[in-house]
Amino acid sequence: MLFNLFKFKGGVKPPTNKTQSTTLPIAAAPLPSRLVVPLHQSIGGTPRPVVEAGDRVLKGQLIGQADGWISAAVHAPTSGTVVEVAMHVQPHPSGLDALCVVIAPDGKDEWIARTPLDYAALTPEAVREHLQQSGVVGLGGAVFPTHGKLTASKTVPMEELIINGAECEPFITCDDLLMRERAEEVVRGIGIFRDLLQPKKVLIGIEDNKPEAAAAMRAAVETLGEDFAVVQVPTLYPAGGAKQLIRVLTGKEVPASKRSTDLGVQCFNVATAYTAWRAIAHGEPVVSRLVTVTGNVHHPRNYEVLIGTPMDELLKLAQPHPDTDGIIMGGPMMGFLVPQASVPVVKATNCLIAHDDRLFPPKAPEMPCIRCGACAQACPHELQPFEMYWFSRAKNFGKTQEYAIFDCIECGCCSFVCPSRIPLVQYFRFAKSEIWAREREKNAADQAKSRFEFKQLREEREKAEKAEKLAKAAAAQAAKKAAEAAAAAAAEAQPAAGEAAPASQAVAAVDPEKAAKRATIEAAMARAKAQREAAQPKNTDHLTPGQQKEVAEIEARRSGSRIEDRGSSEPAPAEPAAPTSPLDPNN
């Protein structure tokens, strides 16, 4: 099919190193000794754990409930026993801990009851809900919950649905193998997305260095009778970036401030389409993914790996060379060295590269920027990395934003071509995270400010109300004194009416009725007093002398204030019996 392709500026052509891992078909990785499943595996809210240590779980059983709309559920990757729900080191450049569910597999790999769905009979909302419950997230690396991307813009008609099979990063071949071996299910998954988004066109972009995958996809599209276009795009890093692929296939540019649906485009990874199909047609939540294990190993290969498998156990399957000194998660351009070899495989893990100095020679020291502009030529987003670098380095974050640092996708092209070997992307990440931190602080400050102002407003209002009440009470007392003599006799006869009477009524009321109320109020006050006396702090047994002294002081102060209280509250009769404190912030 002839197809009019567009181009994006820049890009680089690093050695692809893909053939090593495509010689062997996908293999299922054996059950590991234990599974550490992080709860936070997608963008958005951290799922809440719904299992406890000691629980027996089945494969596919929910262990983390999605928190909020942009969040995806997490499931047990195999059957076994929950050992603990605790903090473990994450496959994250920070090397920090996060909450994980640790499962000891029982070896049976026993599935929970799976119910296939007929999605054609369901409403789109129900399908999205099901995808969320199945933990389907973008498997290209960004792990954005897929259901959140499956709503078309209300104003802009959906033009193109882009399916990303470009896989531009060197070494990674998991999408390639997936398309070769499971093309039919991928295409069926794309069918679900198509039905939900109703685009005019569906374009499957595959880099032209993967002819087998493209052929398999074409064949699958044909057998299923779909009208998806399989388009081979030129091999150029980062053609697999969502924005670049959209640009190449449609000519549209998505700015950082907009979502792609605002331009009538949406983009999904092929692996996401595959898991979406498994989730809907087989009722299987996302408990495993394809991972390329390559680099400094004897047998580079793609494995179907359970989420939570420790990386060192997975790497052993490919028999790493003895001089391996680290594991890179992701590709060599955008990946990072994991902080510990035992961190688990997560939904974002598309590739593990055994690191050694031969494959990745240590970088020569950074030299000053000579403003040669090579980075600007390589930047696929037409940014000026040397300017952003200059201002990030000077911590002039306002200026970095003027140079559109948030349009940077951190692809690493600029660092790749820099003749001074400046780690430009690190500077951009630093600047971005600083800007985000500031944003967070600003939001917190704004919130604190509005709460503070509201508190002041409330205090003033309360003061005004209290003054009003006191004035009313004084007036009431004057009236009372006048009526007291007449009411004295009648008071005996009247039975106590009800509990705590509102003060405002007492003001207007006269004669016997009022006297009755007064009796009621006095009874309520006596009750309150009794309660107050009865309520003693309970943990006063083992106190140090200092604490005891303090408690004594507090008690003294309290009894003092109580007397004051009573003195002041007597004219305002309803107050002591009021069930809630006026200090309650909910008041």
CA 212, 213, 218: angle at the middle one, nearest 5?
A: 100
Segment contacting another protein by CB under 8 A, of 94-102, 296-304, 469-477, 518-526: 94-102
Q: For residues 307 and 63, is the Cβ–Cβ distance under 8 A? A: no
Strand pairing report for 265-269 and 160-164: parallel
Return the number of the residue (89 or 220) whose C-beta is nearest another protein: 89
CA atoms within a 13 Å half-sphere pointing along the CA-CB vector of 150: 29
Contact residue for another protein among 53, 467, 551, 563 (CB under 8 A)? 551
Contacts of 357 (CB under 8 A, 6+ apart): 323, 325
| Cα of 173 vs its chain's centroid, Å | 27
> Cα–chain-centroid distance for residue 513?
62
547 binds another protein (CB under 8 A): yes
Which class for 359: exposed (0-12), middle (13-18), buried (19 or more C-beta within 10 A)? middle
Nearest distance from C-beta of residue 529 to another protein, angstroms = 14
> Which window, 90-98, 257-265, 320-328, 568-576, contacts another protein (CB under 8 A)?
90-98
Among positions 124, 326, 423, 571, the unique one binding another protein when judged by CB under 8 A: 423
585 binds another protein, rule: CB under 8 A? yes
Q: Which of 3, 6, 69, 452 binds another protein (CB under 8 A)?
A: 452
Least CB distance from residue 332 to another protein, whole Å?
Answer: 19
Q: Considering only residues 32-51, where is the footprint of another protein by CB under 8 A?
A: 40
Q: How far is the CB of 396 from another protein (least distance, A)?
A: 7
Number of residues that bind another protein (CB under 8 A): 52
For residue 111, the SS3 value is strand
| Residue 353 host element (H or E) | strand 351-355
Largest pairwise CA distance in the chain? 108
Tell the burial category of 329 from Cβ atoms under 10 Å away from its Cβ (0-12, 13-18, 19+). Answer: buried
Token pair recorded at residue 565: 């209280």
| Contact between 482 and another protein per CB under 8 A | no
Counting contacts by CB under 8 A, is residue 553 touching another protein? yes
CB-neighbour burial class of residue 140 (10 A; exposed 0-12, middle 13-18, buried 19+): buried
| Residues between 102 and 141 with contacts to another protein, criterion CB under 8 A | none
Q: Burial-class residue 192 by CB neighbours within 10 Å (0-12, 13-18, 19+).
A: buried
Q: Which stretch binds another protein (CB under 8 A): 116-124, 129-137, 162-170, 450-458?
A: 450-458
- 496 sits near another protein (criterion: CB under 8 A): no
Q: Which is nearer to another protein, 267 or 334 (CB)?
A: 334
548 near another protein, rule: CB under 8 A: no
Q: How far is the CB of 180 from another protein (least distance, A)?
A: 35
Of 50, 430, 565, 570, the residue at the interface with another protein (CB under 8 A) is: 430
Regarding 468 and contact with another protein (CB under 8 A), the answer is no
Q: Which is nearer to another protein, 495 or 546 (CB)?
A: 546
User: Does 554 participate in binding another protein (rule CB under 8 A)?
Assistant: yes
Q: What count of residues does the chain have?
A: 587
Residue showing tokens 């967070």: 440
Q: How is residue 271 written in tokens?
A: 């692996």
Residues near another protein (CB under 8 A) are: 40, 90, 92-94, 96-98, 368, 390-391, 393-396, 399, 423, 426-427, 429-430, 432-434, 437, 440-441, 444-449, 451-452, 454-455, 535, 537, 539, 547, 550-551, 553-554, 557, 580-581, 583-586
